[in-house]
Amino acid sequence: MLLQILILFLVLIVLPVLVGSIFAGVDGRDSLSFRWVSGQLCLWAGFQAICVPMILLPRENSFFNVIVLYGVFAAAMLLLALGLCIKRRAEGWHADIVKEDSGDRDIAAFLLQGMVLVLLAVQIVLAVVLAYEEGDDAFYVATSSITAESGTMYEILPYTGGRTTLFDARHSLAPFPIWIAMLSKISGVHAAAMAHVVLPVVLIVMAYAIFSRIGFRLFRDSRHKRLLFMLLLELLVIFGGQSLYTAENFLLVRTAQGKAVLADIIIPFLFLLLLILLERLQQKEQPGAKYWLLTAVTMIAGCLCSTQGALLTCILLGVGGGCAAVCYRKWKLILPVAACCAVPVALALLYLFLD
């Protein structure tokens, strides 16, 4: 049990934080939470690039090959991150640290912070302790379990256990359940426990880490406003279950489903990146190559979560980037925006072709 927890801690926390140092400074400061999220998105993008070709060209032990290739990719990203870190230290580089506290540390601020942490803990505990079988789990969790046990990917029907006869382009091009199966295989934790117990803890905290960075961008001048923003957000999430299809319900109930990750992590992170872009343009600065690289891997990570990610991420980035280009007369922004959309568009065309 301790070994399983250690493996998951290294894979889901330590590794993304280290890989995320590749994008240090993109948010204007050396934020640990930003490193963690950006590193995980980079790893998701790599998994998407590895897994989809393996599914399209099925071979013997294809799932095992995915695990091996993903391990090589993760090791390469880790070495790259360490190399860049050594280079930055040698050059005396440091991120522009922005002071988050504006001097309004008082009893009210500490009480608000305590309420935010308590509500976050309540959501995590309830998501784990009251985990129940959601309708789509009959496909997604079953697919993860079958993949981990059989070593095949989308070759066995999760409903009947029979062999597939038609190619399932909708799910095969967004293999988030295969990522869960990979975590299950390398850690020894059953795929159902991984989806209902382990991942809700990690993904809920990751979602709120993104929202905290958005709050910092919106209310940089006041800690009280940032804490009130997070508190209101948590209340909206807790009481947002008026429908099965709200983003709030997805975050707490369908946490480990790819479409929930798209709604609660990928799209909010793209909003954060657009805020950073607009802030840089307002200050008459260039976003930089690392910014566009992070945007590109976020778009690819969205495709891992759901086939809808190819459409929704392109619309969001296209509208945001287009408005920025028009408002600031930066017409050259159209080129990197189009480049970031290249892979999602290609996957969307592939989906239409295969379907």
Q: Check: CB of residue 168 under 8 Å from CB of residue 224.
A: no
pLDDT confidence bin for 166, thresholds 50/70/90:
confident
pLDDT at position 90: 78
Mean pLDDT for the stretch of residues 100-119: 78
pLDDT at position 50: 94
> Phi and psi (nearest 5°) for 156?
-125, 130
Which structure tokens are listed for 87?
């280079």
pLDDT at position 72: 95
Residue 163 β-bridge partners: 156
∠ CA(195), CA(184), CA(293), 5° rounding? 80
DSSP state for residue 163 in the 8-state scheme: B
Mean pLDDT for the stretch of residues 220-239: 91
Is residue 96 scored above 80 in pLDDT?
Answer: no
Class of residue 3 by CB neighbours under 10 A (exposed 0-12, middle 13-18, buried 19+) = exposed
pLDDT at position 97: 43
DSSP state for residue 253 in the 8-state scheme: T
Neighbouring C-beta atoms of residue 78, cutoff 10 Å: 18
Which structure tokens are listed for 132?
């129940």
Question: Which pTM does this prediction carry?
Answer: 0.92
pLDDT at position 95: 52
∠ CA(254), CA(259), CA(265), 5° rounding? 90
First to last CA, the chain: 43
